Amino acid sequence: MGFERDPAHWLLKLSPDEWIRAGLGELKRAEDAYAQKNARAGLAGARRAAGMALNGALIVLPNESWGRSYVDHLQALARAADAPERVRDAAKLLVETPLPGGGPTSLVALRTSSRDEKLLEAARDLVAHAYAIVQRHAGGVS
């Protein structure tokens, strides 16, 4: 089965390879945000990067439990018994880390460069996981 683009469909507007590339582009923006000490944009970008890449995996390996949004994908992977432990842990870290400056009732999260790097590494792990799925199931899909 080959990939058929559908510009009106939220998932099929990009090919699996294009979703992976979009995720890599977003990952670069997240790295830049963390380098500029903008943790809020960095975390949001790390989540988007993982989610975009996972959209590519979702095309070649449909899974309704992943939902539609990037956060849905991450939450589903965080509890997926069939996902590798490192992938589950990466998804869980991205989901459970609060956005800095969340609001008057949110806890203040202490930030360190090593914590920022762990979040980026989690996003990289998820992009790599999505890439591996796309490549494994690519037979005429991209």
Residue 4: inside a domain: no
**pLDDT on residue 92:** 98
Residue 10: inside a domain: no
- State mean pLDDT over 43-59: 97
Sign of the C-alpha dihedral, residues 27, 33, 36, 38?
negative
What pTM was computed for the model?
0.88
- State mean pLDDT over 43-61: 97
Residue 11: inside a domain: no
- Where are the strands (E) in the chain, listed by range? none
Residue 105: inside a domain: no
pLDDT at 115 over 70: yes
Residue 6: inside a domain: no
- State mean pLDDT over 37-54: 97
Angle, CA of 83, 76 and 3, to the nearest 5°: 80
Residue 83: inside a domain: yes
Residue 23: inside a domain: yes
* Number of neighbouring beta carbons within 10 Å of residue 108: 9
Residue 131: inside a domain: yes
Q: Which of 133, 125, 128 is nearest to 59 (CA)?
A: 133
Count of structural domains, the chain? 1
> 116 is in which domain, residue-wise?
16-99+110-136
CATH of the domain at 77: 1.20.120.330
User: Which of 3-7, 45-49, 69-73, 84-88 is the least confident region?
Assistant: 3-7
Greater model confidence, 114 or 85: 85
